[in-house]
């Protein structure tokens, strides 16, 4: 009788599973060092860039006025739940039909010039309240490529980040960063002059506060924005300014 051996006899050419896996990766799946911007047309559908005021306008982000304007005059969903025009940061209650007409005229003008119009998703909240969402450039802004979701400073604007992000994602636009923590930044005080020069202003304080940490935008929010830009292109000259004054008004709604 022969004693059966529990050992496995391997031929000289046999490889362990680990060796086969290593060989497979080395032969068929090498790591590829590539540039994100160069791959955008292939994987993201286009070169998503809007980091200059020079050149042809190709796409804009807008918000169609909706039922949120019917909420004006009712108690706000944020404290102290006032129902006055001041509580809604308005001097009069706009007519929704007029707003929609003006919106459609603007969209038509863009499209007549060959500009693609991306319409932000409607206000998803109950009750709808985002009456300032028509200012879409406040909520997201261009990095060197892709968009950065900013972070709004007060109740009437907070929450706009979510449908804006969803709209960008659905359109295939890469969101390359977000302002997080207690950072705050809004697009009204951010402006690309050209592809190598970016102005970021810590916005002037509102009349209700003089505390830098709770201004319309604070230093930490703008440093986050600047860091994302510098990670994409270290050569961008980013200037952080005091922000006393009005809007920069150099970027508008372009994508």
For the segment 54-101, what is each residue's pLDDT rounded down to a tens digit?
Answer: 889 999 999 999 999 999 999 999 999 999 999 999 999 999 999 999
Tell me which residue has tokens 């960063």. Answer: 177
Token pair recorded at residue 132: 């300032």
Round to whole Å and give the CA distance between 238 and 186. 16
Residue pLDDT, tens place only, 10-22: 555 688 999 999 9
Round to whole Å and give the CA distance between 104 and 45. 27
Question: Nearest to residue 187, comparing CAs of 111, 247, 242?
Answer: 247
Q: Which CATH architecture has domain 39-241?
A: 5-stranded Propeller (3.75)
Token pair recorded at residue 236: 């961008």
What would you report as the CA-atom Rg of the chain, rounded to the nearest whole angstrom?
Answer: 25
Confidence of residue 240 (pLDDT cuts 50, 70, 90): confident
- pLDDT of 211 reads 62
Give the chain's length: 255
- pLDDT of 247 reads 53
Higher local confidence (pLDDT), 211 or 3: 211
- pLDDT of 200 reads 84
pTM of the model: 0.84
* CA distances (Å), origin 231, targets 57, 68, 144, 223, 236: 25, 38, 9, 12, 10
- pLDDT of 12 reads 57
Residue pLDDT, tens place only, 110-119: 999 999 999 9
Structural domain spans, the chain: 39-241
């Amino acid at each position: 009788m022969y004693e059966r051996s529990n050992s496995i006899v391997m031929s000289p050419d046999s490889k362990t599973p680990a060796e086969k896996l290593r060989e497979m990766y080395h032969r068929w799946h090498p790591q590829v060092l590539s540039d994100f911007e160069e791959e955008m047309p292939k994987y993201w559908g286009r070169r998503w860039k809007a980091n200059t005021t020079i050149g042809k306008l190709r796409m804009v982000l807008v918000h169609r006025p909706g039922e949120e304007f019917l909420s004006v005059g009712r108690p706000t969903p944020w404290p102290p739940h006032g129902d006055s025009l001041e509580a809604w940061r308005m001097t009069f209650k706009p007519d929704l039909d007029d707003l929609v007409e003006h919106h459609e005229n603007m969209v038509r003008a863009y499209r007549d010039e060959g500009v693609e119009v991306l319409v932000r998703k409607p206000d998803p909240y109950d009750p709808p309240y985002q009456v300032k969402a028509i200012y879409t450039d406040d909520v997201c802004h261009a990095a060197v490529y892709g968009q950065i979701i900013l972070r709004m400073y007060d109740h009437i604007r907070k929450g706009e980040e979510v449908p804006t992000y969803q709209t960008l994602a659905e359109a295939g636009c890469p969101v390359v960063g977000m302002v997080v923590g207690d950072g705050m930044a809004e697009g009204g005080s951010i402006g690309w002059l050209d592809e190598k020069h970016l102005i970021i202003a810590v916005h002037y304080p509102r009349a209700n506060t003089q505390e830098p940490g709770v201004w319309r935008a604070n230093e930490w929010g703008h440093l986050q924005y600047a860091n994302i830009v510098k990670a994409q292109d270290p050569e961008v000259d980013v200037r952080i300014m005091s922000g006393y004054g009005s809007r920069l008004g150099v970027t508008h709604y372009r994508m």
